[in-house]
C-alpha cells in the first residue's frame, strides 16, 4: 500500500471515500469490508431512483463476498491491497451467472457461462461486485439514452444526460453509489461521461487490457477503462487488470509498470502540447474558460505548454463513423436468433426469423450504424469509404508520432460541452456524434488518455473535464501529470466534487 497522504479526511462518510482510502482503512483494521459494502449499498439504493444506473444489482452476493474478505483480512491472507473494496461493471463485460445485456433487448435474457478477463482479475484481487450498469445499446452512443431499458441521469442535474456510453458507471461513481467502476471506451465512452459527471476516466493503450469477455462493438477500437473519483484510484484499478492475456489476440505481451510508483513526482520540466486544430469554435465558453485555467495551472506546476498541429484530427469524426460502424456491422451479425439471445418465435422460416429478430431486438441507433457499416463495406464502396477512412487513421497515428518527438503529453478539453439536456440531441445524430470530437482520434490511434475534472463551468455549474493524451504504453507519465493537476486543483474527495443530490 502506498504511503502517500490521502485526501480527503478519513472522517468522510464511507460512501465518499476513495477506494484507496477504504483500502487503507481495511489494512489498518479500522474498517470492515462488510461495513464498507453495506454503507455503499445504502447510498446506491438511495440514489438509484434518481440516477437509474443499474441494469442488474448483485448486492446480496456483494455482502457475502465482503464477509469472506473480512475473514481473509483477519487471517492475513488477503488477495490484494484492495481486497473487499466494492466495484461495479458496465453491462458489456461478460459475468458468469449474471445477466449481461449490453443495454439491448436482443440479449435481455442471456446468462453467460464465463467471466471476462477484467472481471476474473478483479475478483482475483478480492473486489466485490455490486452489479451491472446501464449503457447505450452495444456501447453506441454519447448519452446513455440509447439503452433499451431507459436512460441514466446525471447526478449533477437530473434533467441532463450522464454522457455515454458508460453513463451508468459515471453516474453511480459520481453519486457515491460505488467508489470505482469499469467502463469501455470505443470513441470516448469512458472519458466523455467522466467529464460530464465530474470523475476520472481512463482509456488505456489499445491492447493494454484484455478484451476477452468484452462484448464487441468495434474490435479495433474497443478498450476497457477504469472510472473513479481520484487519479490514484484509476491507476490502482488499471493495475489490477492490465497485462497480457493469451485469450485476446490483440493483447500486448509487454510487462506492466507500477502505475503508482512515482505518481507524486510532479511535472516540472514536462512538455505538453495544445492541439491547434482543437482551438476553434464549437467549444462551450464555460468549458473553454475552465480548460484555459487548467492550462495555466499546468504551467504553474512547472510544465511548458506549446501549440502543436495535428491536421488529421479534424477528419477524426468522419473516419471513426465509417470504421466503427463497419466493424459493428460485422460483429453484430452473430445476433441472428439462432444460437443465443432473443428470437422472434412466429416467423415462417429461418430467413424471416432472423430478419424479425434483428428488427425487434435492436434499437434505432444500432440499426443506423449497422446499415451505415454494411453500406461502407459493400462492393463498389469499400475503397471509397472504409479504405479512405483507414488511410485517415494512419495519418492520425503519424501526426501523433511526430508530435511526441517534441512533447511528452497532449492536452485538450475532454468534451466540447458540459452535460446536455435529456432529449436535446436525440433527433440530431450528427450533433450527438460531435460530443466525441476531442476523444475519437485517440481511439483511432490506440493511444492512452485520461479525463480528469477541472472544476465546474460558470455557465451552468456542471463539471468540465481536461483530457491528457499520452504516447502508447506511457500511462505512467499520463497518471503523473493527472495526479499533479488533481492535487493542485484540490477537487478529488472535497465537498465541491459531490453532486447536490
What are the tens digits of pLDDT across the range 338-379?
988 999 988 899 999 999 999 999 999 999 999 999 999 998
Report the pLDDT value the prediction gives residue 2, as an integer from 0 to 100. 40
- Strand 86-90, strand 180-184: pairing: parallel
Catalytic residue among 129, 165, 195, 415: 165
To the query of whether residue 268 is one of the catalytic residues in this protein, the response is no
Report residues of the chain scoring pLDDT below 70: 1-10, 281
Note whether 163 and 419 are within 8 A (CB). Answer: yes
Which DSSP category does 210 fall into? -
Note whether 386 and 306 are within 8 A (CB). Answer: no
- CA–CA separation, 427 and 408 (whole Å): 40
Catalytic residue among 65, 81, 90, 354: 90
Q: What b/e string do you get for 381-416 counting C-beta neighbours within 10 Å, with b at 16 or more?
A: eeeebbebbbebbebbbebbeebbeebbbbbbbbbb
Can you tell me whether residue 370 is helix, strand or coil?
helix
Report the pLDDT value the prediction gives residue 282, as an integer from 0 to 100. 85
In this prediction the pTM is 0.96
Note whether 128 and 86 are within 8 A (CB). Answer: yes
To the query of whether residue 276 is one of the catalytic residues in this protein, the response is no
Report the pLDDT value the prediction gives residue 427, as an integer from 0 to 100. 92
Report the chain's terminal Cα–Cα distance, integer Å: 32
Q: Domain extents for the chain?
A: 14-310+396-497
Residue whose C-alpha cell reads 495551472 in the numeric block: 297
Catalytic residue among 44, 143, 189, 312: 189
- CA–CA separation, 481 and 450 (whole Å): 10
To the query of whether residue 165 is one of the catalytic residues in this protein, the response is yes
Can you tell me whether residue 441 is helix, strand or coil?
helix
- CATH architecture group of domain 14-310+396-497: Alpha-Beta Complex (3.90)
Residue 184 Cα distances to 264, 297, 316, 419, angstroms = 27, 29, 19, 19
Q: Which among 133, 140, 230 has a CA at the least distance from the CA of 182?
A: 133
Cell of 310: 495535428
- CA–CA separation, 128 and 431 (whole Å): 38
Amino acid at each position: 500500500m502506498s504511503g502517500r497522504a490521502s485526501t480527503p479526511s478519513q472522517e468522510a462518510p464511507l460512501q465518499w471515500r476513495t477506494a484507496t482510502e477504504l483500502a487503507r482503512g481495511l489494512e489498518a483494521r479500522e474498517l470492515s469490508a462488510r461495513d464498507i459494502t453495506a454503507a455503499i449499498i445504502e447510498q446506491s439504493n438511495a440514489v438509484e431512483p434518481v440516477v437509474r444506473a443499474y441494469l442488474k444489482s448483485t448486492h446480496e452476493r456483494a455482502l457475502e463476498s465482503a464477509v469472506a474478505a473480512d475473514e481473509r483480512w483477519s487471517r492475513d491472507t488477503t488477495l490484494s491491497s484492495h481486497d473487499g473494496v466494492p466495484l461495479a461493471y458496465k453491462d458489456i463485460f461478460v459475468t458468469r451467472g449474471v445477466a449481461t445485456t449490453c443495454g439491448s433487448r436482443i440479449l435481455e435474457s442471456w446468462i453467460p457461462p464465463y467471466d471476462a478477463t477484467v472481471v476474473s482479475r478483479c475478483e482475483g484481487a478480492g473486489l466485490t461486485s455490486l452489479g451491472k450498469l446501464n449503457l447505450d445499446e452495444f456501447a453506441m452512443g454519447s448519452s446513455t439514452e440509447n439503452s433499451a431499458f431507459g436512460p441514466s441521469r446525471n447526478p449533477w442535474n437530473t434533467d441532463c444526460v450522464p454522457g455515454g456510453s458508460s453513463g451508468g458507471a459515471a453516474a453511480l461513481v459520481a453519486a457515491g453509489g460505488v467508489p470505482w467502476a469499469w467502463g469501455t471506451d470505443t470513441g470516448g465512452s469512458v472519458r466523455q461521461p467522466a467529464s460530464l459527471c465530474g470523475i476520472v476516466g481512463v482509456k488505456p493503450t489499445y491492447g493494454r487490457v484484455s478484451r476477452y469477455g468484452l462484448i464487441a462493438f468495434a474490435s479495433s477500437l474497443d478498450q476497457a477503462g477504469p472510472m473513479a473519483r481520484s487519479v490514484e484510484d484509476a491507476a490502482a484499478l488499471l493495475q489490477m487488470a492490465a497485462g497480457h492475456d493469451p485469450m485476446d489476440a490483440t493483447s500486448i505481451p509487454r510487462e506492466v509498470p507500477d502505475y503508482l510508483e512515482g505518481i507524486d513526482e510532479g511535472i516540472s520540466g514536462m512538455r505538453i502540447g495544445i492541439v491547434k486544430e482543437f482551438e476553434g469554435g464549437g467549444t462551450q465558453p464555460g468549458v473553454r474558460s475552465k480548460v484555459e485555467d487548467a492550462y495555466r495551472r499546468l504551467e504553474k506546476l512547472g510544465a511548458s505548454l506549446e501549440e502543436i498541429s495535428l491536421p488529421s484530427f479534424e477528419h477524426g469524426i468522419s473516419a471513426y463513423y465509417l470504421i466503427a460502424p463497419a466493424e459493428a456491422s460485422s460483429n453484430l451479425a452473430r445476433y441472428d436468433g439462432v444460437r443465443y439471445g432473443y428470437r422472434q418465435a412466429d416467423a415462417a422460416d429461418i430467413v424471416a426469423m432472423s430478419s424479425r429478430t434483428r428488427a425487434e431486438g435492436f434499437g434505432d441507433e444500432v440499426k443506423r450504424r449497422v446499415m451505415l457499416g454494411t453500406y461502407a463495406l459493400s462492393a463498389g464502396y469499400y475503397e471509397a469509404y472504409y479504405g479512405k477512412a483507414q488511410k485517415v487513421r494512419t495519418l492520425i497515428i503519424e501526426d501523433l508520432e511526430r508530435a511526441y518527438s517534441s512533447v511528452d503529453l497532449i492536452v485538450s478539453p475532454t468534451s466540447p460541452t458540459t452535460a446536455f439536456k435529456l432529449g436535446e440531441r436525440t433527433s440530431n445524430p450528427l450533433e450527438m456524434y460531435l460530443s466525441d470530437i476531442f476523444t475519437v482520434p485517440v481511439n483511432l490511434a490506440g493511444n492512452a488518455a485520461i479525463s480528469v475534472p477541472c472544476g465546474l463551468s460558470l455557465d451552468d455549474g456542471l463539471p468540465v473535464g481536461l483530457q491528457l493524451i499520452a504516447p502508447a504504453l506511457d500511462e505512467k507519465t499520463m497518471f503523473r501529470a493527472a495526479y499533479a493537476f488533481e492535487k493542485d486543483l484540490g477537487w478529488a474527495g472535497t465537498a465541491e466534487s459531490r453532486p447536490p443530490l
